[in-house]
Amino acid sequence: MIAARGEPGLQRARTARRLAGCALALWLAAAPDARAQDTVFIGAKIYTGTGTTIDKGMIVVRRGKIASISSVGARAAPPGATVVDVTGKVIIPGLVDTHSHIGVYSRPNVPANADGDDPSKPIQADLRALDAINPDDPGIRMAQAGGVTTVNIMPGSGDPVGGQTAYVKLRGDTVDEMLILPVGVQGGMKMAGGENPKTTHGARKKQGPATRMGIAALQRELFIRAREYQEKTSGVLSSAKKPERDLALEAMVEVLERKRTVHYHCHRADDIMTALRLQDEFGFDLVLQHGTEAWLVAGEIAKRNVPVSIIVADSPGGKLEASRLRLDNGALLERAGVRVAIHSDDPINPSRLFLRLPALAVRGGMSENAALAAVTLEAAKILGLDSRIGSLAPGKDADLVVLSGPPFSVYTQVLQTWIEGELVFDRADPEQRRYATGGFAVGDRYPELEARP
Amino acid sequence: MRCAVSPALLAAVLVALASVAGAQPLVVKAGRVYTVSGEVIANGAVVIDGGKITAVGKAGVVPVPKGARTLEAAVATPGLIDAQTSVGLAGFYNVGADRDANEKTGPNQSALRALDAFNPDDPLLDHLLAHGVTLINTGPGPADPLAGQSGVFRTHGEVADEMAVKVPSALVVNLGEIPKATYGKREKLPSTRMGTAAVLRQSFLAGMEYERLRAAGGASKPDRDLAKETLGLVSRGRLPVILVAQRADDIVTALRIGREFNLRMALAGAAEGYLVRDRIRESGAPVLVGPVTQRVASPETFNASYENAALLADDRIRIAIRSGFDGYVPRAHIVLYEAAVAAANGLGFDAALRAITLAPAEILGIDDRFGSLEVGKSGDVVLFDGDPFEYTSHVEVVVVEGEPVYRRTPGAP
């Protein structure tokens, strides 16, 4: 139907009308297919993640995004859409775990699977978690079964600078399919203070650092070298020869330019202050990770507007720096105006029971809204991904979890986990269910539970 | 001179003085009283006098002694019991100075007693008490094949001997990955599962032989040996054995050895118990399951399931819930939380509550005094502000022998 070249204007106009007619016909033919790609969730109580709830809601998902979210009856469901009847169920945003070691410490925990801490030297800023993530780690399926959709997969805390973290969604067969940001800065920078780096490098390896002052000195030196590298590579010192490419310092320049967030593992109050002092000196985006004694220095943290991603554990102790772990840490920080997220530190806490952690924070006095935000929108903000995830709103990724009941009840099960409109976990599937309960590797030998009243 | 005060008057004065001195009776009232041994009592009351339960029934119907204090809450349960742990020995700080759960200097540590290492001042005891755990069967950890003697202790108190409720409670025996890793890395016996089994069998044999020679007397009567004495008690059925085994074949090995030496035994851990439940049921051995939230971690726990407790209970295997040994963070699991996860994964509320009260009491042989709210038993009661298993509920008060020893403050669990 392409008009031949050189046709007179009238002919061109007729051709144009025919072209328009064809286009209209094609569009009409295509439109029902486009609408059939919609998925509609009807009838659940929806926690949007911004503090509001809809008692009986309708979510329309189109091409991986939330198209609309409203009360049932407020608008018609798009015709031809796939309907997911979630009457009587609860929907929350996909959970965001800001601190996990799934994929880099695959299960079972044998040396062959230990890829999260490289103790060969204390400063490992060029190492990238993405080069070690195993998408076949059963821990990833187990996390999906816990309603987790986005994870900050991190190196461990054995090194003062452990390496680059990876912000991933729990979907895909390769790490490239998991990474949220396909190019550019794809995660943060893991740093650690306190006992763990000392144990790895001082006590065991008899190389530095063996003290907290040793840890801080190495971290400061790295920042200083990064500044110098930044000056040399930006051509400020035009007379100097451009330096050889340095992967570690490249990543640290991203930190200095606030393109890459530092996730700093710290428990004790003085280790928290060391992290804040580093930030004061060099200026970078910082998240305090674990923050066991953050409640003790809440004022210092609040005045710098630094967020804290806290650890929740059944008991304090296990090491000296965890001896003042308190269930009301989240509550105290909330009251002090500190931004709080809650993470699993999988395998320390199981991702399958991720909702247990904000629930325990509520037990300790945190408000329900803040506790839910700590594993959804606030966590997303900490990762700089809140434009895409962390709450259910039009235009955001359709990452959502269908629950059998209220989010913080022990009796509630995760029924389904959806990522960008794709169902990645379905408890109704017997094989997938065994990632939620355990026993995923025993296949047919897994017995059936008697129905209980 | 004849005594001016009659014996009857003297006795009355002494009783009155005792009441004033703090043995005041206590009435615990709750919207739901879970006795565990019987029905749930709506708007119930438990009367405790002289440290023991003297009445259980409906509030307003049950006679209340004069001068009784009253405590009230939404829910009351018996004091919670952890069927097997290492708290009190595996120290809070996890440094050399307070690590006392794993001897590791030889595979047969039968002579070792939890009593001699139990630290009443360990902060984890208060932490457990704040969650309603009033008794723990504590002792050695998983490193040694014959690890030593466990004991049942209160979580509230100041001196180990006074807190001890039953010592020894059992001989703790370990199979599977951990004991063979402990000795294998030094290239000592055992470094394989068959090595571990051989060590166990040699030791039980030595115990039997020791008993025989001691009984025979005469010139060949052996000198007293603490380890062999303990194994001798085991051989006579006077001391039960707790065999910790996770993998299915290790559970079967434990049952095989148990049969060979006619052990009074319980299994513990049993992550893969649900795969060999027929053999377990046949043996009649109870299982101290857990922790329920056992990490899917090492190869032997790779198939751990939250539904394990329910699957074993479905097969009429007697279960109790244990917290087990914790080597890092968290330094202790809480059986209240563990039972909650089991309840939500097929076990149901009643069976889960029983698994942390009457069931461990029965298995440990202390159910004459503990494990349920019944007349004559110790006045150990836990008060909750809601469903005990809900994460967002709280323990309000813990009563031990009729005394409130823990009261919740804001922010506490």
Residue A7: its pLDDT value, please? 42
Does pLDDT of A364 surpass 70? yes
Average pLDDT over residues B226-254: 98
Tokens standing for residue B17: 């003085």
Residue A4: its pLDDT value, please? 40
Closest-CA residue to A452 (of B46, B352, B83, B38): B352
Give the strand pairing for A148-153 and B265-269. unpaired
Closest B-chain CA to A409: B390
Contact criterion met (CB < 8 Å) for B306 and A110: no
Contact criterion met (CB < 8 Å) for A449 and B303: no
Map residue A216 onto helix, strand or coil: helix
A 10 A CB-CB count for A80 gives 13
Task: Enter the pTM of the model.
Answer: 0.93
How would DSSP label each residue in B138-173?
A: E---SSSSEEEEEEEEESS-S-HHHHEEEEEEEEEE
Does pLDDT of A120 surpass 80? yes
Average pLDDT over residues A84-95: 98
Does pLDDT of B17 surpass 90? no
The C-alpha of B296 sits at a distance from chain A's nearest C-alpha, in angstroms, of 7
Which residue among B275, B328, B411 sits closest to A365, beta carbon to beta carbon? B411
Residue A449: its pLDDT value, please? 87
Residue B21: its pLDDT value, please? 45
Handedness of CA A301, A307, A312, A317 (dihedral sign): negative
Measured between beta carbons, the chain B residues lying within 8 angstroms of A318 are 94, 326, 328-331
Handedness of CA B287, B291, B293, B295 (dihedral sign): negative
Does pLDDT of A199 surpass 70? yes
Measured between beta carbons, the chain A residues lying within 8 angstroms of B279 are none
Q: What is the dihedral of CA B315, B76, B92, A191, to 10 degrees?
A: 80
A404 touches B at CB < 8 Å: no
Residue A190: its pLDDT value, please? 98
User: What ipTM was estimated for this complex?
Assistant: 0.93
Percent share of chain A, pLDDT over 70: 90
- Are B68 and B85 spatial neighbours (Cβ–Cβ below 8 Å)? no
Where is average pLDDT lowest: A22-36, A398-412, B151-165?
A: A22-36
Measured between beta carbons, the chain A residues lying within 8 angstroms of B329 are 313, 317-319, 322, 348
pLDDT digits (tens, 9 = 90+) for A298-354: 999 999 999 999 999 999 999 999 999 999 999 999 999 999 999 999 999 999 999
Average pLDDT over residues A246-271: 98
Q: What is the rounded distance in angstroms from the CA atom of residue B308 to the CA atom of residue B328?
A: 24
Q: How far apart are the first and last CA of chain A?
A: 69
Which residue among A142, A319, A356 sits closest to B329, beta carbon to beta carbon? A319
pLDDT digits (tens, 9 = 90+) for A151-174: 999 999 999 999 999 999 999 999
pLDDT digits (tens, 9 = 90+) for B69-82: 999 999 999 999 99
Average pLDDT over residues B181-206: 98
Percent share of chain B, pLDDT over 70: 95
Contact criterion met (CB < 8 Å) for A360 and B410: no
Tokens standing for residue A40: 């509609």
Residue B173: its pLDDT value, please? 98
Does pLDDT of B20 surpass 50? no
Handedness of CA A99, A103, A104, A109 (dihedral sign): positive
Percent share of chain A, pLDDT over 90: 86
Measured between beta carbons, the chain B residues lying within 8 angstroms of A408 are 391-392
> Which residue bears the tokens 């799934």?
A102
Does pLDDT of B46 surpass 70? yes
Residue A102: its pLDDT value, please? 98
Residue B281: its pLDDT value, please? 98
Predicted confidence band at A9 (pLDDT cuts at 50, 70, 90)? low
Q: What is the rounded distance in angstroms from the CA atom of residue B34 to the CA atom of residue A77?
A: 48
Contact criterion met (CB < 8 Å) for B305 and A439: yes
Residue A445: its pLDDT value, please? 96
Closest A-chain CA to B272: A439
Residue A15: its pLDDT value, please? 60
Residue A3: its pLDDT value, please? 37
Tokens standing for residue B346: 């097929």
Residue A450: its pLDDT value, please? 79
Q: State the count of interchain CB pairs (< 8 A) between A and B.
A: 151
The C-alpha of B267 sits at a distance from chain A's nearest C-alpha, in angstroms, of 20
Measured between beta carbons, the chain B residues lying within 8 angstroms of A332 are 411
Average pLDDT over residues A243-254: 96
DSSP β-bridge partners for residue B242 = B172, B266
Does pLDDT of B12 surpass 60? no
pLDDT digits (tens, 9 = 90+) for A205-243: 677 899 999 999 999 999 999 999 999 998 665 666 788
Percent share of chain B, pLDDT over 90: 93
Handedness of CA B344, B348, B351, B353 (dihedral sign): positive
Closest B-chain CA to A361: B392
- Mean pLDDT of the residues in chain B: 95
